[in-house]
Chain A
Amino acid sequence: MKHEVKMLARILVLLTASLGAGQEALAHHSFAMFDKSKFITISGTVRKIEWANPHAYLQVQVPGSNGTSTLYAIECSSPNELSRWGWKFNSVKVGDQISVGIYPLRNGQPGGLLFSVTLANGTVLKGN
């Protein structure tokens, strides 16, 4: 059942990504530092939430090989827009295990622009 929920979440994200052509996003600044041609999914532990304007951020510790881990800085939309999409300031908490779909930074640093968050219970929150 949990697996099915995760699959459904992924399908929803893909569907969402394929719809809505012709609409403008509401970025408060350019997102050109992120690579829109790449979409990756990473999983890890939330270390920090910055419910800030113009855009919120998640810091996610992503485990790597040999016991190492990398801290990703993930830019979300504005608190106003996130709220429209069902977020609350405490929807994602420090210590939560989450999976995030991001457009990574073009300069190779660990970070990206959030597309969506999947919480441990399968809830999907749109991030941009």
Chain B
Amino acid sequence: MKRYGLRNLHLRGGIVATLILAASSGIAAPVDFSGVWERYPPLHNPALTPEAIFAEGAPMPGAKPRLREPFATQYEALEKKSAAAEESGQPLADAGIRCLPSGVPAMMTAILPLEIVQRRDELLILAEELAEIRRIYINEKMPPAGEIAPSYHGYSVAHWEGATLVIQTQGIREDVRFLDMPHSADMRVTERLRLTAPDMLEEQGTLEDPAVLVAPYRFTFKYKRNSTYKVAEYVCDDNHYDVNGTGSVIFHSEPKR
């Protein structure tokens, strides 16, 4: 009995020690998002009409944003200007034509696949498109706003709520656009990442920016795991486009360099 008791004690001690170690080091992540993920339902369709070929980008992931003034008027004016430019055959330049990063959260649109690398204390999201990288620090605190230099992807920290990783991002440059929406330097992005099935990933996003948005803007992206795909190199070296003084795109038959 005594022997069994001792063994039992050792076992219990070992389990307790393991749990303490797991809790303190954060190794007990409830789920591993590591892998290559593609938008679901698939964005790629081999059978397209001319209308679909000429439609740019992916479908809206949420409703139309409700903006405060003067942002609402400016947003509508930009939409009209953009539509007129499209009609004239001289579209307005966007970040993509300039080979600039999409930033957060637009990067999560994932027209091309995302690779997630999960470590104990960091989640890396590596987009094929533009080779964009997001670094998300798990179980870290958000630094004070005055210490975050504005950037395309902002500063991201995350914590686990059950099997959901809740990612919070601040410090996104004001000129970084998601769905052409303006935002202030104080915008806060919250993304709730969870598996809805072993190979299905869901992101529920919320943008909070009371100075610009009437109400928080919510969106959802869904992804499916692709276990065989290897993310390709992506260097934005297509040199056939230029931007003129009015911000319109110019096509060059010959590459620029």
In the complex, which residues 48-70 of chain B have their Cβ closer than 8 Å to any Cβ of chain A?
Answer: 48-59
Q: How many residues of B contact A (CB 8 A)?
A: 48
Q: Counting CB contacts under 8 A, is B31 at the interface?
A: no
Neighbouring B residues of A83 by C-beta, 8 Å: 232
Question: Do B90 and A25 have beta carbons less than 8 Å apart?
Answer: no
Question: Do A16 and B47 have beta carbons less than 8 Å apart?
Answer: yes
Question: Do B249 and A30 have beta carbons less than 8 Å apart?
Answer: yes
A36 to B44, CA, bound (A): 20
Question: Do A26 and B57 have beta carbons less than 8 Å apart?
Answer: yes
Q: Counting CB contacts under 8 A, is A33 at the interface?
A: yes
Question: Do A73 and B47 have beta carbons less than 8 Å apart?
Answer: no
> What secondary structure prevails in chain A residues at the interface with B?
loop
Q: Counting CB contacts under 8 A, is A19 at the interface?
A: yes
Question: Do A85 and B46 have beta carbons less than 8 Å apart?
Answer: yes
**Binary CB contact string for chain B from 90 to 107 against chain A (1 if under 8 A, 0 otherwise):** 111010110100000000
A54 to B90, CA, bound (A): 19
Question: Do B232 and A23 have beta carbons less than 8 Å apart?
Answer: no
Neighbouring B residues of A31 by C-beta, 8 Å: 53-54, 56
A128 to B96, CA, bound (A): 18
Question: Contact size class for A?
Answer: 35 or more
Q: Counting CB contacts under 8 A, is B181 at the interface?
A: no
Question: Do A21 and B249 have beta carbons less than 8 Å apart?
Answer: no
User: Which among A1-9, A61-69, A91-99, A109-117 touches the partner chain?
Assistant: A109-117
A21 to B50, CA, bound (A): 9
Q: Counting CB contacts under 8 A, is B129 at the interface?
A: yes
A20 to B85, CA, bound (A): 27
Neighbouring B residues of A105 by C-beta, 8 Å: 251
Closest 10 CB pairs of A and B: A20-B47, A30-B91, A106-B89, A73-B253, A32-B86, A23-B45, A32-B91, A19-B47, A29-B97, A52-B238
